[in-house]
Structure 1
Amino acid sequence: MNLEIITPEKNVFNGEVDSVILPGKNGQFQVLKDHAPMVSTLKTGDLVYEIGNKKETIVVDGGVLQVFNNKVLVLAEAVV
């Protein structure tokens, strides 16, 4: 699935990933391929994406998330 992370200042990441773990307002949750469409708010915390056996972490400072047709779009306030 495609993950795109955008802040008002720049495009942080755009690429294919196997899974994403996100800091939701009501707790951490994971998005995998073929996830149902959804929109959620994000709190400050770790966004972890996995490509193969490699995990990368980006700290997001709040924002919103949209999942639709195997595309995960994160509109973050900022990344640390």
Structure 2
Amino acid sequence: MFLEIVTPDEKVFEGEVLSASFPGSDGSFQILNNHAPMVTTLGKGDIRYQEEKKDEIHILVEGGVVEVLNNKVNVLVEKIFDDNE
């Protein structure tokens, strides 16, 4: 499936992934290929995604919105924390 993560300032990631998990407002959840369409909000926590034959990536976010439709996952996040925050 195709994952795109953007902030108001930049595109953080764009590419094919095997899976992605998110810090939902009501608890964490995972998206896999052929997931049902949905729109939901994010809380503060880690977005994790796995590209084929690569290590899992973690991005700490403050909140945002996730939209899933036709194997495309669009993620709009308010703020991304770096390792020093």
TM over 0.5: yes
Question: Which residue number in structure 1 is paired with residue 10 of structure 2?
Answer: 10
- Report percent identity of matched pairs: 51
Which string of whole-angstrom CA distances, capped at 9 and with x for unpartnered residues, describes residues 8-54 of structure 1?
A: 01000001000001000000000000000000000010000011352
Instruction: Return 5+ residue gaps in structure 1 as ranges.
Output: none
Question: Which residue number in structure 2 is paired with residue 27 of structure 1?
Answer: 27
The secondary structure found in structure 1 opposite 2:36 is coil
Off by >6 Å, runs of 4+ in structure 1 = none
Instruction: Return 5+ residue gaps in structure 2 as ranges.
Output: none
Q: Which has the higher strand share?
A: 1
Which of structures 1 and 2 has the bigger CA Rg? Answer: 2
Give the TM-score taking structure 1 as reference length.
Answer: 0.96
The secondary structure found in structure 2 opposite 1:8 is coil
Question: Which residue number in structure 2 is paired with residue 75 of structure 1?
Answer: 76
AA in 2 matched with 1:71:
K
Aligned pairs, number? 80
- Distance in 2, matches of 1:79 and 1:2, equals 20
The secondary structure found in structure 1 opposite 2:63 is strand
AA in 2 matched with 1:8:
P
- Distance in 1, matches of 2:4 and 2:61, equals 13
